[in-house]
Structure 1
Amino acid sequence: MLAVAGASGGAVALSGPTLVQRLGLTQAEAAEAPPAPPAVLGPLPANAPRPTTAGLSQTLDGAADAMPGTFTGVVIDPSTGNTLWQHTPEKALVPGSTGKLLTVSAALLTLNPTDTLVTRVVQGSQPGTVVLVGGGDPTLTTLPPGQNSVYPGAPRMSDLAAAVRKAVPGPITRVLVDTSRYKGPSMAEGWDPADVAAGFITPIEPVMVDGGRIDPTEQDGPRVDDPALAAGRALAQDLGADPKNVAEGTAQPGAKSLAAVHSLPITDLVEQLLRASDNVLAEILAREVAIARGGQPTFDGAAQQTLAALRQAGFDPTGAVLHDGSGLSTEDRVPARLLGSLLGAAAAPVEGPDGTEFLRPVLSGLPVAGGDGTLEDRFGRSGPSGPGRGVVRAKTGTLTGVSSLAGVVTDADGRLLVFALMSNGVNPSSIRPKLDAMAALLSGCGCR
Structure 2
Amino acid sequence: MPFAVLATVLLLVLAGVGVFVARPGPVAGWLGEDEPKPTASALPPEPDPQAVLAALDPNAPEPTPDGVRAALAPLVGQPELGSRVNVSVADVATGTSLYAKGADAPTVPASVTKLVTAVTVLEARGPGYRIPTRAVAGAAPGEVVIVGGGDPTLAVDGKGFYPGAARLDDLARQVKVALGGAAPTKVTVDATLFPGPRVAAGWDDDIPVGGFGARISALMTDGARSEPEKARRTFEETNHAAERTAEPDLFAGRAFARLLGLPESAVRTGKAPAAPASPASPAAGAPAPGTELGKVQSLPVIRLVDIMISYSDNVIAEALARQVALARKQPASFVGAGKAMDVVAGELGLPADELDLADGSGLSRNNRISPSLLTDLLTIAGNGEHPELGAIFGGLPVAAWSGTLDERYQAAGTKAGAGVVRAKTGTLTGVHAIAGLVTTADGRLLTFAVLTDQAPADSMDGTRRALDRITSALAVCGCR
Q: Distance in 1 between matches of 2:435 and 2:265?
A: 46
The amino acid that maps onto 2:473 is: L
Q: Deviations over 1:114-140 (max 9, x none)?
A: 110000111111122201101111111
Where do 1:420-431 residues align within 5 Å?
420-426=449-455, 427=457, 428-431=460-463
Q: Equivalent of 2:118, from 104, 107, 132? A: 104
Where do 1:25-424 residues align within 5 Å?
42-66=54-78, 67-144=81-158, 147=159, 149=161, 151-168=162-179, 169-216=181-228, 217=232, 218=235, 219-254=240-275, 255-348=290-383, 350=384, 355-380=385-410, 382-424=411-453
Where do 1:6-17 residues align within 5 Å?
6-9=7-10
The amino acid that maps onto 2:10 is: G
Q: Following TM superposition, by how much is the alpha carbon of 1:167 offset from its aligned partner in structure 2, in angstroms?
A: 1.9
- Quote the residue 1:435 is aligned against: 467
Q: Distance in 2 between matches of 1:359 and 1:46?
A: 21
- Quote the residue 1:445 is aligned against: 477
The amino acid that maps onto 2:173 is: A
Q: Distance in 2 between matches of 1:42 and 1:93?
A: 32
Distance 1:242 1:361, change over 3 A: same
Distance 1:299 1:388, change over 3 A: same
The amino acid that maps onto 1:399 is: L
> Percent of aligned positions with the same letter in both sequences?
40
Q: Distance in 2 between matches of 1:373 and 1:363?
A: 13
Q: Distance in 2 between matches of 1:312 and 1:405?
A: 25
Q: Distance in 1 between matches of 2:355 and 2:54?
A: 37
Instruction: Classify the secondary structure of the residue corresponding to 2:353.
Output: coil
The amino acid that maps onto 2:380 is: A
The amino acid that maps onto 1:126 is: A
The amino acid that maps onto 1:188 is: A
User: Does the 8 Å CA contact 2:199/2:208 hold for their aligned counterparts?
Assistant: no
Q: Following TM superposition, by how much is the alpha carbon of 1:89 offset from its aligned partner in structure 2, in angstroms?
A: 2.0
The amino acid that maps onto 1:65 is: G
User: Does the 8 Å CA contact 2:53/2:439 hold for their aligned counterparts?
Assistant: no
Instruction: Classify the secondary structure of the residue corresponding to 2:470.
Output: helix
The amino acid that maps onto 2:62 is: R
Structure 2 alignment gaps of length 5 or more: 12-20, 26-50, 276-289
Q: Following TM superposition, by how much is the alpha carbon of 1:416 offset from its aligned partner in structure 2, in angstroms?
A: 0.7
Q: Following TM superposition, by how much is the alpha carbon of 1:248 offset from its aligned partner in structure 2, in angstroms?
A: 0.5
The amino acid that maps onto 2:328 is: R
Q: TM-score, normalised by structure 2?
A: 0.83
The amino acid that maps onto 1:221 is: A
CA RMSD of aligned residues (A): 1.9
Structure 1 alignment gaps of length 5 or more: 15-38
Alignment length, in residue pairs? 415
Q: Distance in 2 between matches of 1:41 and 1:315?
A: 26
Q: Distance in 1 between matches of 2:429 and 2:375?
A: 23
Q: Distance in 2 between matches of 1:356 and 1:166?
A: 43
Runs of 4+ in 1 over 4 A off after TM superposition: 10-14, 39-43
Q: Distance in 2 between matches of 1:74 and 1:313?
A: 19
